[in-house]
Amino acid sequence: MARCDKSMHVPCAPISLSGDHTRSFRNPRKGIVLAIQTLNVPELDVTELPEQLYRHSQRPEWGLALLAWERNNRRAYQFEDGKLRKISKGYYDLMDPVDPEDVPATAVVANLQATIKGLRGGSERKVVKATCSFEEQLRLFTKLYPEGFQDPKWIEDKRGRAEGSSLKRHREPSLLAAREALDPSLAASLMEEGRHGELTESVLDVLAGTNLVPLSHVKALRRLDAGESAEYAEVVFHLVHGDATLQERFGRYLKVMTRLLGGRPSWRISTALLALTHPQEEVAVRRSAFIRQAGSIAPTGLYSRRPTVVSYLSFRRVAIGVRKRLEAAALPPADMLDVHDFIWTTLRKSALEHLTETA
């Protein structure tokens, strides 16, 4: 095959897991002939899988990857989107090493290693099946909101205005309420003065004012006694403003919530405050729709029914993947609340029947 400039070359394709053969095709956009060899997956030493993560410099939407095997001047990488892709020698430098401090490396590595092991029967990890393609979601979304997240109807339906009358589905009033209730100086002063109950009530008022959390879940927290209310206020402050890592803060929050409620809390009550106080980084999880989204973004992740630190990081990776794809489609969301609402709008049960209508 003739050599070509790396910036124009697409040197990867999903690997077939049955049969060994070589085929060629022409990239219709570039006019480049590519030779793609599909191979049986070679024997893997699943006890010593690498932990270094990589990202394809030209295809970031594939997510992070681990090296699965190397042979015959080729390397195969397992990507977060569920595909095993082969890179020919001479193009290895397209795979950029990822600094583990930039990503939740432990969770991603564990998910990808489990998938690689599954290729050889060494793991029982299930891969989430895609409900639909992301392109189908985009078609439905732009049919409903032609101007995307700037569409007047989207703003009316989802964002609302920070001031004036609003509905529970409106995000701007909830963001403002969360900023005011959990202002770090104000919240710290209330706790220093022993007025934990006031802080708790302010936080619960925020949660009661949004559809991110069912009202019944808020009512359960309103039944806490004075000591429990103080503990809740402190763990919420630590979650939102603490200096520890996200994993440590969220893990502590789940542990306290489990004890206060007498059982592990729901995804919605566990993630709403993070989303409202850190809307650019954190996401509110609505598991039913998010698990469907995982099928087209990161099907290899671990997605538990009840909140865990590892599963939150996996769902967060899904949301980040959605945001990147929306940005690539020239539909940049304002924040992760827009991402949450995009996922819910296009993948809730009532929306699934409309996906086929837009195809």
**Within 10 Å of residue 3's Cβ, how many Cβ atoms?**
7
**Within 10 Å of residue 261's Cβ, how many Cβ atoms?**
18
Strand arrangement of the beta sheet that strand 95-97 belongs to: 84-88, 74-79, 64-71, 54-56, 95-97
- Measured CA to CA, the distance from residue 20 to residue 37 in angstroms comes to 8
Q: Identify the DSSP state of 159.
A: I
- The pLDDT-based confidence of 105 (bands split at 50, 70, 90) is low
Q: Which of 247, 237, 256, 257 is nearest to 282 (CA)?
A: 247
- Measured CA to CA, the distance from residue 281 to residue 271 in angstroms comes to 12
Tell me, letter by letter, the H, E, C secondary structure of 34-99. Answer: EEEEECCCCCCCCCCCCCCCEEECCCHHHCEEEEEEEECCEEEEEECCCCEEEEECCCHHHEEECC
Reported as a single tens digit per residue, the pLDDT across 291-324 is 999 988 888 788 999 999 999 999 998 999 999 9
Reported as a single tens digit per residue, the pLDDT across 245-289 is 999 999 999 999 999 999 999 999 999 999 999 999 999 999 999
| H or E stretch covering 237 | helix 226-241
Residue 322 and residue 293 in contact, taking contact as beta carbons nearer than 8 Å: yes
The yes-or-no verdict on residue 5 having pLDDT over 60 is no
- The pLDDT-based confidence of 48 (bands split at 50, 70, 90) is low
Of 5-19, 128-142, 264-278, 334-348, which gets the smallest average pLDDT?
5-19
- The pLDDT-based confidence of 25 (bands split at 50, 70, 90) is very low
Please compute the mean of the pLDDT values over residues 103-122 and round it to a whole number. 70
- The pLDDT-based confidence of 13 (bands split at 50, 70, 90) is very low
User: Which residues face 36 on adjacent strands?
Assistant: 23
Reported as a single tens digit per residue, the pLDDT across 145-170 is 999 999 999 999 999 998 888 899 99
Reported as a single tens digit per residue, the pLDDT across 169-222 is 999 999 999 999 999 999 999 999 999 999 999 999 999 999 999 999 999 999
**pLDDT, position 3:** 39
The yes-or-no verdict on residue 336 having pLDDT over 50 is yes
Reported as a single tens digit per residue, the pLDDT across 318-333 is 999 999 999 989 999 9
Structure tokens at 80: 């977060």
**pLDDT, position 229:** 97
User: Domain extents for the chain?
Assistant: 1-16+52-125, 134-358
